[in-house]
């Protein structure tokens, strides 16, 4: 397209679907690998931008690690020397590439305060986050998908209105407040479940799960409500489609139509929104960790933020972005499986 | 029916508008209507349940819960407004302009927006306050910047829909400039949808800022804020759990009111929820922009 002129009527598809800067590959690569290649290039570009952002945040921050490390009596020469030793007197891109290069090899640097390698701290904290968010996601789907199906197939009915009322309330509740109410009911009053702490799965399935149930449920409520409402709306829309009428005319049972044809189509927006929810889930996990005293990445980031511990903050953000990107790739694969049309469109 | 009438047609919107009006009044007046000094300690009277002197009881220092709730409104709501304003300013105009970009620059702009969407809001705000300064200002900037992609994507999706209308094409043929088209044809039509987005974003901002106050980032104790009150009450759940309920309810009711007003605005102003204008191509159901424009994406911020 010529620059400086608005082209009209062709702008309803995003650039990556029209080809974008990598559109030339449409002719070179076979259909499937073209889609995969485009996905990989998109992901790499997003990874480049987000790592640049994370690095820029630290690079332009006013914190002066050498001065902090050496204490109040440090001479300017000593500070300059330490900055040189730590490689902090180099340019932006030189520092960025050595940081990202080391990170790819698993070296995230060393905490400026505790001297512990960042990778080690993250290895201890990551299982906690993965456990909590993983269990939360499973809970959210177990609550949200049946609720969405029940509401969507009984449009306007008592159950539909009931589920709608519950989910629109659930969406407004802050995660930490849900968590607190759970602690009051199940830990303070009933004393059924522990209120705080984390036990690794190696200590046994129930001890591990019992420490996760409350925080994971607190996290799951919002996501379940979003999933239920979206699935309900897409089911209602999908049930009006012509292919449903066609399938009914062909004599397929309503159950078969729902589970084999309609649900598959209606799940696609739900899967997309789950992908969008994953960063939010990781963010909310930080709050839940604080409430339930779970030693996860959020607690690590929070302490590091209070100490201006740059390598730790960067490391935690980097790992979170990596998790989100991997999840996005998985979601994209799932969408391709749910909707063969998205695969064919690129061929 | 006038537009205002249509917006407030549903009873839930009327209730929600009243709630927001009360919240706004408390924001403007600050602690003026608080029955007690929100900072006055009365330790012998700690953990008192609701009485005629203390309608919502007292906290662990014997401070009046109702007064702290009222006094904490201002900082939470003002911060949320500032956050949404920042997100709007940073997101809307670039979003509209991005609809008129060439393919290559469009690809990179969209990937930049995607990369902002991969960062969890809370974690980035924690990092930003740690790296720059721990205060309400840094929190507002961090959350505002991460709300901007939402405004960007919605402004862009709407613009893409209207840019393919025939009257825009006609204006183009008559030699109208890109700027003139945006000002004359796009801006006023994108605004209703953006009003809906602003309302839902306000709810998200209240949730996000309260979460950060809960983590001890932003408002500093002993100054009251809704999230901060929860954080201190949580320490004393085993002594008295009732005080911790109220700030959570205040947050939930405010967020609900924002969402309900957004629903009213959507129905009353004819803002879109997904698809575009008459000739615009119907967005595919799995398209991110149409999902964001739909009612569901709005409530989730924290």
Q: What is the pLDDT of residue A112?
A: 79
Task: Please give the residue that has the higher pLDDT: either B57 or B73.
Answer: B73
Residue B246 with chain A: CB contacts under 8 Å: none
Answer left, alpha or beta for residue A115, where phi above 0 means left and psi between -120 and 50 means alpha: left
Nearest CA in chain A to B247: A177
Nearest CA in chain B to A269: B286
Nearest CA in chain B to A6: B100
Mean of pLDDT values over B37-49: 72
Where are the alpha helices (H) located in chain B, listed in sequence order?
A: 3-7, 11-29, 65-98, 103-118, 121-131, 136-163, 166-173, 178-181, 187-214, 226-234, 245-269, 288-293
Stated pTM of the model: 0.81
Q: pLDDT at residue B144 above 80?
A: yes
Q: Taking a contact as any Cβ pair under 8 Å apart, which residues of chain A between 145 and 204 contact chain B?
A: 168-169, 171-177, 180-181, 183-184, 188, 195
Q: Quick check: A298 and B123 CB within 8 A?
A: yes
Q: pLDDT at residue B86 above 90?
A: yes
Q: pLDDT at residue B277 above 50?
A: no
CA-based nearest residue to B249, from B59, B18, B21, B56? B56
Residue A195 with chain B: CB contacts under 8 Å: 237
Confidence of residue B273 (pLDDT cuts 50, 70, 90): very low
Percent of chain B whose pLDDT exceeds 90: 13
CA-based nearest residue to A185, from A207, A217, A209, A143? A217
Q: What is the pLDDT of residue A3?
A: 42
Q: Quick check: B123 and A18 CB within 8 A?
A: no
Give tens-digit pLDDT for B234-245: 777 777 777 778
Q: What is the pLDDT of residue A140?
A: 94
Nearest CA in chain A to B216: A302
Mean of pLDDT values over B62-80: 85
Give tens-digit pLDDT for B11-27: 888 899 999 999 899 88
Q: Quick check: A180 and B104 CB within 8 A?
A: no
Q: Quick check: A9 and B164 CB within 8 A?
A: yes
Q: Quick check: A16 and B107 CB within 8 A?
A: yes
A–B interface: beta-carbon pairs under 8 A: 247
Q: What is the 3-state secondary structure (H, E, C) of chain A?
A: CCCCCCCCCCCCCCHHHHCHHHCCHHHHCCHHHHHHHHHHHHHHHHHHHHHHHHHHHHHCCCCCHHHHHHCCCCCHHHHHHHHHHCCCCCCHHHHHHHHHHHHHCCCCCECCCCCCEHHHHHHHHHHHHHHHHHHHHHHHHHHHHHHHHHHHHCCCCHHHHHHHHHHHHHCCCCHHHHHHHHHHHHHHHCCCCCCCCCCCHHHCHHHHHHHHHHHHHHHHHHHHHHHHHHHHHHHHHHHCCHHHHHHHHCCCCHHHHHHHHHHHHHHHHHHHHHHHHHHHHHHHHHHHHHHHCCCCHHHHHHHHHHHCCHHHHHHHHHHHHHHHHHHHHHHHHHHHHHCHHHHHHCC
Report the half-sphere exposure of B292 (CA within 13 A, side-chain side). 23
Q: What is the pLDDT of residue B288?
A: 44
Mean of pLDDT values over B117-126: 86
Percent of chain B whose pLDDT exceeds 70: 85
Per-residue pLDDT in tens (0 to 9) along chain A, 347 residues = 334 444 444 444 444 444 555 555 454 445 556 777 888 888 899 999 999 998 888 888 777 777 777 777 777 888 888 878 777 778 888 888 888 888 888 888 888 778 888 888 898 889 999 999 999 999 999 999 999 999 988 888 899 999 988 998 888 888 888 988 888 888 877 777 777 778 787 887 888 888 888 999 999 999 999 899 889 988 888 888 888 888 888 888 888 888 888 888 888 888 888 888 888 888 888 888 888 888 889 888 888 888 888 888 889 999 999 999 999 888 888 888 887 665 554 43
């Amino acid at each position: 397209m010529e620059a400086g002129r608005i082209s009209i009527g062709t702008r309803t598809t995003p650039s990556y679907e029209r080809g974008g800067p990598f559109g030339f590959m449409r002719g070179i690569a076979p259909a499937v690998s073209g889609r995969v290649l485009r996905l990989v290039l998109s992901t790499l570009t997003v990874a480049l931008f987000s790592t640049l952002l994370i690095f820029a945040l630290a690079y332009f921050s006013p914190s002066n690690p050498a001065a902090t490390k050496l204490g109040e009596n440090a001479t300017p020469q000593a500070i300059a020397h330490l900055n040189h030793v730590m490689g902090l007197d180099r340019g932006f891109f030189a520092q960025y590439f050595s940081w990202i290069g080391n990170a790819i090899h698993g070296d995230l640097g060393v905490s400026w305060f505790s001297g512990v390698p960042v990778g080690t701290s993250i290895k201890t904290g990551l299982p906690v986050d993965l456990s909590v968010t993983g269990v939360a996601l499973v809970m959210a789907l177990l609550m949200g998908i049946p609720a969405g199906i029940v509401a969507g197939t009984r449009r306007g009915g008592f159950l539909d209105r009931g589920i709608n009322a519950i989910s629109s309330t659930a969406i407004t509740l802050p995660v930490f407040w849900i968590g607190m109410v759970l602690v009051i009911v199940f830990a303070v009053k009933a004393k059924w479940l522990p209120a705080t702490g984390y036990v690794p799965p190696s200590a046994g399935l129930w001890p591990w799960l019992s420490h996760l149930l409350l925080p994971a449920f607190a996290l799951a409520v919002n996501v379940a409500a979003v999933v239920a409402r979206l699935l309900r709306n897409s089911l209602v829309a999908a049930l009006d489609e012509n292919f449903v009428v066609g399938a009914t005319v062909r004599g397929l049972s309503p159950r078969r139509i729902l589970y084999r044809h309609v649900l598959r189509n209606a799940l696609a927006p739900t899967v997309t929104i789950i992908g969008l929810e994953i960063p939010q889930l990781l963010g909310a996990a930080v709050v839940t960790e604080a409430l339930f005293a779970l030693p996860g990445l959020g607690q690590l980031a929070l302490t590091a933020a209070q100490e201006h511990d740059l390598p730790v903050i960067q490391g935690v953000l980097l790992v979170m972005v990596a998790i989100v990107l991997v999840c996005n790739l998985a979601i994209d694969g799932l969408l391709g499986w749910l909707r063969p049309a998205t695969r064919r469109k690129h061929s | 029916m006038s537009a205002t009438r249509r917006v407030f047609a549903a009873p839930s919107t009327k209730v929600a508008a009243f709630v927001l009006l009360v919240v706004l009044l408390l924001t403007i007046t600050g602690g003026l209507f608080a029955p007690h000094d929100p900072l006055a300690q009365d330790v012998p009277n700690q953990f008192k349940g609701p009485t005629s002197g203390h309608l919502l009881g007292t906290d662990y220092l014997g401070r009046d819960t109702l007064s702290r709730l009222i006094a904490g409104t201002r900082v939470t709501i003002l911060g949320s407004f500032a956050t949404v304003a920042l997100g709007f300013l940073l997101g809307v105009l670039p979003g509209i302009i991005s609809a008129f970009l060439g393919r290559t620059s469009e690809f990179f702009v969209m990937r930049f927006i995607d990369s902002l969407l991969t960062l969890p809001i809370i974690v980035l705000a924690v990092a930003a306050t740690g790296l720059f300064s721990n205060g309400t200002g840094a929190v507002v900037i961090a959350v505002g910047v991460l709300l901007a992609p939402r405004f960007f994507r919605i402004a862009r999706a709407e613009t893409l829909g209207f840019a393919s209308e025939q009257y825009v094409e006609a204006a183009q043929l008559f030699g109208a400039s890109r700027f003139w088209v945006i000002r004359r044809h796009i801006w006023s039509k994108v605004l209703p949808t953006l009003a809906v987005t602003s309302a839902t974003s306000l709810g998200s901002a209240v949730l996000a800022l309260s979460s950060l106050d809960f983590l001890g980032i932003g408002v500093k104790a002993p100054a009251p804020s809704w999230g901060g009150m929860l954080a201190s009450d949580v320490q004393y759940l085993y002594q008295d759990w009732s005080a911790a309920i109220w700030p959570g309810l205040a947050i939930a009711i405010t967020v609900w009111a924002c969402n309900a007003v957004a629903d009213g605005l959507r129905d009353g102003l004819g803002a879109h929820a997904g698809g575009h204008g008459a000739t615009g191509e119907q967005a595919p159901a799995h398209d991110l922009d149409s999902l964001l424009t739909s009612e569901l994406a709005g409530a989730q911020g924290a």
